[in-house]
């Protein structure tokens, strides 16, 4: 009984960041990435959480859906930060599949007892206005359906600032990672519990 209780308390203090290259510190050192910087902020502000970054560069929502059950079982997170979908859009995959995969990941996370923070992504306009707009709408629609907090756009203070982006124009540079933490924080903070 006591052991189970200890495990429950410990697992409730785990945040699983489940994303793609935008969360995997692509092209920069891992300690420069926004997930590592978020860990520092949590510690500095007295939140006793550990973060598991299970983000994989190039990951699609279908790949994420295959990986998620094991990650949930392994880490038993209290919070899941779900940041996937960009690679589906960049490959021009049907949005119905992206939406269904994200919805299933939300359900799996909730069934495992985790609260979900959904992270919105946008893609460059060169994919055509219809696809671009429909892709952007997937995230608020899911957030409404499943009553989730939503980060409207992960790169809102980064994407249009060349000084904060890598030369590929797709990934944040080291200078763009701290602004991402500032973007995520107001939506994550209400889900956190202070140390007793």
Active-site positions?
21, 168, 171
CA dihedral 114, 16, 165, 31 (to 10 degrees): 150
Q: Which residue has the tokens 């959904």?
A: 118
Asked if 172 and 165 count as a contact pair (C-beta separation under 8 A), the reply is yes
Q: Which residue has the tokens 């991402």?
A: 180
Distances (CA, A) of 174 to 14, 24, 44, 178: 25, 12, 20, 8
Distances (CA, A) of 36 to 33, 41, 181: 5, 9, 10
């Amino acid at each position: 009984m006591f052991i189970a209780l200890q495990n429950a308390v410990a697992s409730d203090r785990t945040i699983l960041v489940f994303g793609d290259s935008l969360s995997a510190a692509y092209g920069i050192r891992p300690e420069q990435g926004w997930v590592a910087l978020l860990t520092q902020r949590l510690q500095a502000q007295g939140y006793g959480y550990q973060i598991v970054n299970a983000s994989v560069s190039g990951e699609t929502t279908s790949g994420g859906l295959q990986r998620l059950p094991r990650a949930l079982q392994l880490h038993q997170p209290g919070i899941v930060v779900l940041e996937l979908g960009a690679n589906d859009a960049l490959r021009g995959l049907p949005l119905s599949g992206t939406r269904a995969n994200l919805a299933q990941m939300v359900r799996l996370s909730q069934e495992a007892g985790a609260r979900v923070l959904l992270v919105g992504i946008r893609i460059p306009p060169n994919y055509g206005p219809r696809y671009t707009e429909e892709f952007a709408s997937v995230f608020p629609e899911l957030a409404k359906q499943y009553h989730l907090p939503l980060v409207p756009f992960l790169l809102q203070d980064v994407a249009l600032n060349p000084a904060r982006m890598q030369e590929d124009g797709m990934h944040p540079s080291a200078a763009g990672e701290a602004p991402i933490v500032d973007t995520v924080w107001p939506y994550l903070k209400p889900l956190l519990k202070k140390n007793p």
